[in-house]
A and B are shown apart, each in its own frame.
Chain A
C-alpha cells in the first residue's frame, strides 16, 4: 500500500516537472517567434514605412487627379488637355534643372588663400549638406547641379559637369532653400560646417563666407552638358 502511494506521488511530481518544463519551453518559443529585433528597431521601421507610404500616397493621389482631368477633357472634346501636359512637362523641366529658377537662399563663397588649392571634397561637402538641408536648386560657379553632376579634381582644376575651374580661384555655391529655415537653422548649421572644415585644413587655407540672399538666381543646365547625353539609357515604354 505504502509502495503504491510512493509510486503515485513520484508520477505526480514527475508530471508537475514535465508540465513546468513544457511551460518554460513554450515561453522560450514565444520569445523566438517574436524575433530578435528590438522594439526600438521595429518602431523605426514602422516610421520609415509610414513615411514611404505617405510619399507614395501623395504621388498616387496627384497622378489620379491628373488622369481624371485628362480623361474628362478628352471626353468633352474641349481640347484643353494639352495644358495639363504642358504643366507636367514644365514641372519635370524644373525638377531636372532645365529651367533657370529664383527665390530666397544662401550663397557660400570659398576663397583659397595664397598657396592653397581648393579641394573637391570641400565643395562636395557643402553641396551634400545643402542637399540634406532640403535645397531645391544648387549651382556651383553658375553650373547647375543636376542628378549626373560630378565634382572632382583633375590636377590644378576642379571639374563640375565637365567644366574646369582653377583650384586657386574662388568657388561660389548658391542654393534655393526654405526661406523659413535660413536664419534659424541653415546659416548657423553651415557656419558650424565651415568652422569644422577650417579646423581640419588650418586657418591659412581658405576663407569661407556664408550669407543669406533674398534673390538667389540659379541658371538652367547648359544644353551642351553631359547630362543631356542619354544614349546609354532606354526609356521603358
Chain B
C-alpha cells in the first residue's frame, strides 16, 4: 500500500514537471509572438510569393521574346527575295553578330569562380572573395586568349557591358549576380586555356592561402544567348550621335 502511494507521488511529480515544462515553452512561444516572429514569417511568406510571381513573369517574358525573335527571323527571310534589301539584310546580320545581338554557337570553355569556402572576413584575406575587379580581370584574359563571345552568368557581354560592385555585391548591367560566377566563352579553346593556366595572378588567387575556387571545362558545342534575350539596346545607344 505504501509502495503504491509512493508510485503515485512519483507519477504526480513527473506530471507536475511536464506541466511546468510545457507551460514554460508555451509562455516563451507567446513572448516570441509578441516580439514579432510571426509577423516576420508572414512577411517572408509574402516576399516568397512576390518573388515567385516575378520569376513566373520573367519566364513568360522570355517565352514571348523567343516567339517574337522567331517571327522576326521568318519575316526578314521574306525580304531576301527583294533585290534591294538582300544586301541590307546581310549587313544587318553581320552587325547583329558583331554587336552580340544574335545567339551564337561554337566550341569553347566554361569557367566558374567562387569565394573561398566558409570565408571569414576576420581571418581570410580580402582576395578570398570574388570582386568585380577579379571578374573583369578574367574576362580581359579571355579576350586576350582570343575569345569571340563571352557570357557572364548567362548574360552576353557587349561593348557596354559593365561588371561593377556595390559593397559586397557584383552587378552586371545593374543586376545583382551571385556566386558561383560562371563565364562561358566561345573561341580558340587551347589558347584561352593556356592564357588562364599561365596567368600568375590567377595562380596566386587559387593557392590554398587565398582559396578562390576556379574550374575550367571545355565544351565541344555551346550556345551563348543574344544580348536581346535579356535587354533592349536603345538605352545603351541613346547618347550616341554620328559626326
Query: A residues touching B (Cβ–Cβ < 8 Å)?
Result: 6, 10, 13-14, 16-17, 20-21, 23-24, 27, 30-31, 34-35, 37, 39, 42-46, 48-53, 55-60, 62-64, 66-67, 70-71, 74, 81-82, 85-86, 88-89, 91-103, 124-125, 128-129, 131-132, 134-137, 145-152, 176-179, 217, 226-230, 232-237
Contacts and interface: CB of A to CB of B under 8 A. Distances in A.
B136 interface: yes
B147 interface: yes
Nearest to A44: B176
A224 B235 CA distance: 28
Given A95-B158, A128-B162, A233 B51 contact: no
B123 interface: no
B106 A232 contact: yes
B239 A176 contact: yes
A67 B69 CA distance: 9
A147 B18 contact: no
Contacts of A13: 15, 18-19
B88 A82 contact: yes
Interface string B40-72: 110111011011001101100110110011011
A81 B75 CA distance: 11
A146 B240 CA distance: 15
Nearest to B201: A121
Interface residues of B, number: 100
Given A85-B76, A228-B98, A136 B239 contact: yes
Given A53-B58, A67-B68, A91 B237 contact: yes
Contact of A236 (B104, B146, B147, B238): B104
B68 A82 contact: no
Interface of B: 8, 11, 15, 18-19, 22, 25-26, 29, 40-41, 43-45, 47-48, 50-51, 54-55, 57-58, 61-62, 64-65, 68-69, 71-73, 75-76, 78-79, 82, 84-85, 88-89, 91-93, 95-107, 132-133, 136-137, 140, 143-144, 146-150, 157-164, 171, 173-176, 186-188, 223, 228, 230-243
Contacts of B93: 235
Nearest to A20: B22
Given A39-B40, A149-B143, A233-B148, A10 B103 contact: no
A95 B236 contact: yes
B144 A152 contact: yes
A11 B25 CA distance: 20
Contacts of A34: 41, 44-45, 48
A234 B61 contact: no
A43 B223 CA distance: 32
Contacts of B241: 101-103
Given A46-B54, A103-B240, A236-B102, 5 more contacts: A62-B234, A89-B91, A131-B164, A147-B159, A152-B140
Contacts of B82: 82
Nearest to A38: B44
11 contacts: A31-B41, A46-B47, A82-B88, A99-B242, A100-B242, A136-B238, A145-B159, A147-B157, A152-B140, A230-B97, A235-B102
B98 A98 contact: yes
A31 B37 CA distance: 10
Contact of A43 (B47, B107, B161, B240): B47
Contacts of B69: 63
Given A60-B68, A82-B88, A96-B159, A148 B176 contact: no
